[in-house]
Structure 1
């Protein structure tokens, strides 16, 4: 944080040397938002996170589709000794000198409703004995159907089929919310620059007024109309006004650098923010905001996903209590010394195998894991209930602030106009000697505070409005949902 402050200070002192060579550019709030959504680093991060979620979802979808695979050994050369058991039970070593080739083409399909796997395969093996008197053999499996099926274990594919679509919907909602968060950050930087610009304009005007009043006061002092104390007070006000201008220039340069860097603009551009005078005249109902938030916000998808994942963990623990796997294979096999004959005189080839793993005594370890999973699920559900209460409360307070902000903005705008008029009148009154310097300074301070209050209330209005948009993914001004063409965005 300190390094960032030092950087802003350095920028503030160096920017005045560069501003003369910069191109001035007026920028509205809507233009700044549009630039931030396409050029800012935050927008790029949100897009990359969406792309990651998209390809994870595509990978899951691919698991539901059939795969075509080829496995081959090209070649397998073996020249070695291996043990061989004779007919009398004794062992001897024989020399191998063979060349083998093998290939298998398979179509594999995961069965999400059972958690098993069905494969249709065709294979060919070739073996040639090298050396004198060596021969060759072919073995073919023209077609073979294989089934691998866990009986009591957890069906991972079925659970993923429930969880992954929710996860992807959560990612899409998070992307839209992140885009709205980029907008809120843009609003913050934009109004900081706008306020710095207004403060500088006010400081310069105050400096001109202070210098003019000091000259008038000098003439009045010579005529004996004011005291020496009042003259010195006006001189001090003139010096303070000059110092305020210098400080305001530094702050303006720092705020401009901040917004420009966030929008990805060149340092040769001098931004002139335009005050957005008009705001949407709308009132928002709490129940409508809450319904839209629970329906569209990523928080709702996040809750659903976490509930499913907690149930999934319990299912895994229960599935590990016992394990029974079934393997079945049905097909045909041919064998001959000639390639073409290896596909004739086919013989049936069936394999059925059932593997069982049931713990007899594990001292309650597996059942303990089931109870741990259930306890963890209860913890997750308790946290979710608390988060839902906080979510509802935050939305209620946000809606209350927004609906009240329109009135606060109207009051601040009217107070700004009145303070400007009062200050102008105070200057005229001071020139004819009807008020003293203390009343004049008070009018000036009130004018400056009212102007800054007006801009701050305007910022609060837009900030609250886009917070509500971010939570609901709904445009209440157009009464329409915030839509994104995700396929186009990802491309």
Structure 2
């Protein structure tokens, strides 16, 4: 009894949490943008690029670090050798220290820093307390950054390009998702309509079978005609069952794509209405050249390759570094029993009176012989740059061809849809006339079956043409970043 109750509660919970979605295409796309796994992954990729850009921007800002040692106690054995031999004695030391470093990177790839330190060493073997404080202001500047490769500016530019690329990738994948959802939506709509057509066909076949059975019982038709109607009814039933299986499969795929639970119900709302959209091929090509990520990706890659060539050339140049500092220091040594405050005061007094320290240095590195290693690497980088320039031109031509063909297909699919819409109206009227003639006994079952197949083909052809036209509109939107139905750019 408990098991039965548990199963009932479980099923009740499942039924409670199942939702019913009444969706049109726009609602389906909105849900997919929010819940689909592919979109959520892309959002995280975009966040990564944003954080990387923020990190690169922060490299230009002041960095402050505080280092503390509070305290550090050590016990070691030290050796001492003289004329009397080798002696060992213990060394016990207590160490306190703190350091504050303020570092300001420069756009010239150098940095200015201020380094403050306060140190105290208690040596229990010699009974001494040593205290030291210092302050250093310094500058480091690689001079080759002015004529060679500036790493900090290049890193910032690379981060900006990566952010731009991620932003455009997100938009492209969003348009791809719109197309995929549109494809799945219309595919589900197609199988639902096919199921409806199969059900209507089954109903018509049942009606025809009943008419044929009554006629056969009355001796008005041959047995072979009645048997043929029975075979046609079985075929219609099989087609209907198969259509229901296809509908369930398409529904599950659609739910997975837009990110809803498989046990949820989906009801599609579409009236098979369409807008007549005429696309100018020249405008479509212009928009594609302006907005397509593939072209911008190649431009970004060309810029990155240009940086790589510059960096490789800089590796073979003369390098020079300028270093300068100004330092004040104060030290004091007293008995270990001296109070820490007094020791610090003594060190500060020495800090004020002790002459300052300073230094200026220029270091130069001159590559003399590398047997053509750097030159070969530069040539390889230049070849990669040329390769990407050619690739960019190839992509531009490919996109122009692709968009022009797509516009031609769109205009052609519109004409076909309009034609098949008229054919469907004719086929519906023709079938009604044929069914009435069969009821009156003017034609046999084969003629009725032929007309029924013609009507089913008209339904399916019109459905395929409608879906093809809608998908062409979605496809040209994702390939030009422009909504021709609304006549507005995709932001």
TM-score, L = length of structure 2: 0.85
Specify whether residues 392 and 35 from structure 1 end up closer, same or farther in structure 2 by C-alpha distance, changes over 3 A only.
same
The aligned counterpart of 1:42 is 38
1:118 and 2:126 aligned: no
Q: Secondary structure at the match of 2:174?
A: helix
The aligned counterpart of 2:6 is none
Specify whether residues 457 and 79 from structure 1 end up closer, same or farther in structure 2 by C-alpha distance, changes over 3 A only.
same
The aligned counterpart of 1:436 is 444
Counterpart Cα distance in 1 of 2:259 and 2:41: 14
The aligned counterpart of 1:135 is 129
Deviations 1:272-318 (A, max 9, x none): 22224333333222232233333333223312210011112212221
- Structure 1 range deviating more: 22-31 or 130-139: 22-31
Alpha-carbon distance, 1:344 to partner: 0.8
Count of residue pairs the alignment pairs up: 459
1:140, 1:342 within 8 Å by CA — same for their partners in 2?
A: no
Deviations 1:132-182 (A, max 9, x none): 4413232311x4122232526521222233332222122112212212222
Which of 18, 28, 49 is the matching residue for 2:24? Answer: 28
Specify whether residues 259 and 365 from structure 1 end up closer, same or farther in structure 2 by C-alpha distance, changes over 3 A only.
same
Counterpart Cα distance in 2 of 1:72 and 1:53: 34
1:101, 1:125 within 8 Å by CA — same for their partners in 2?
A: yes
Deviations 1:409-437 (A, max 9, x none): 22222222222222222211222233333
Counterpart Cα distance in 1 of 2:275 and 2:115: 66
Q: Secondary structure at the match of 2:275?
A: coil
Counterpart Cα distance in 2 of 1:413 and 1:69: 74
1:147 and 2:170 aligned: no
Specify whether residues 70 and 325 from structure 1 end up closer, same or farther in structure 2 by C-alpha distance, changes over 3 A only.
farther
The aligned counterpart of 2:360 is 352
- 1:194-233 alignment, distance < 5 Å: 194-233=189-228
Q: Secondary structure at the match of 1:69?
A: strand
Gaps (5+ residues) in structure 2?
A: 1-13, 333-345
TM-score, L = length of structure 1: 0.85
Q: Secondary structure at the match of 2:121?
A: strand
The aligned counterpart of 1:12 is none
Deviations 1:79-108 (A, max 9, x none): 44678999xxxx999975444333332222
Alpha-carbon distance, 1:365 to partner: 1.4
Counterpart Cα distance in 2 of 1:68 and 1:23: 54
Specify whether residues 66 and 283 from structure 1 end up closer, same or farther in structure 2 by C-alpha distance, changes over 3 A only.
farther
- Structure 1 range deviating more: 444-453 or 77-86: 77-86
Counterpart Cα distance in 2 of 1:77 and 1:28: 73
Counterpart Cα distance in 2 of 1:191 and 1:437: 34
1:57, 1:164 within 8 Å by CA — same for their partners in 2?
A: yes
Counterpart Cα distance in 2 of 1:25 and 1:482: 27
Specify whether residues 299 and 278 from structure 1 end up closer, same or farther in structure 2 by C-alpha distance, changes over 3 A only.
same
2:195, 2:244 within 8 Å by CA — same for their partners in 1?
A: yes
Which of 41, 48, 54 is the matching residue for 1:58? Answer: 54
Counterpart Cα distance in 1 of 2:381 and 2:181: 44
- Structure 1 range deviating more: 327-336 or 46-55: 327-336
Specify whether residues 214 and 268 from structure 1 end up closer, same or farther in structure 2 by C-alpha distance, changes over 3 A only.
same
Specify whether residues 321 and 72 from structure 1 end up closer, same or farther in structure 2 by C-alpha distance, changes over 3 A only.
farther
Alpha-carbon distance, 1:402 to partner: 2.2
Counterpart Cα distance in 2 of 1:158 and 1:365: 26
Alpha-carbon distance, 1:75 to partner: 3.9
1:398 and 2:406 aligned: yes
The aligned counterpart of 2:11 is none
Specify whether residues 22 and 252 from structure 1 end up closer, same or farther in structure 2 by C-alpha distance, changes over 3 A only.
farther
Deviations 1:330-349 (A, max 9, x none): 22312132243243125332
1:28, 1:276 within 8 Å by CA — same for their partners in 2?
A: no
- 1:281-300 alignment, distance < 5 Å: 281-300=276-295
2:59, 2:105 within 8 Å by CA — same for their partners in 1?
A: yes
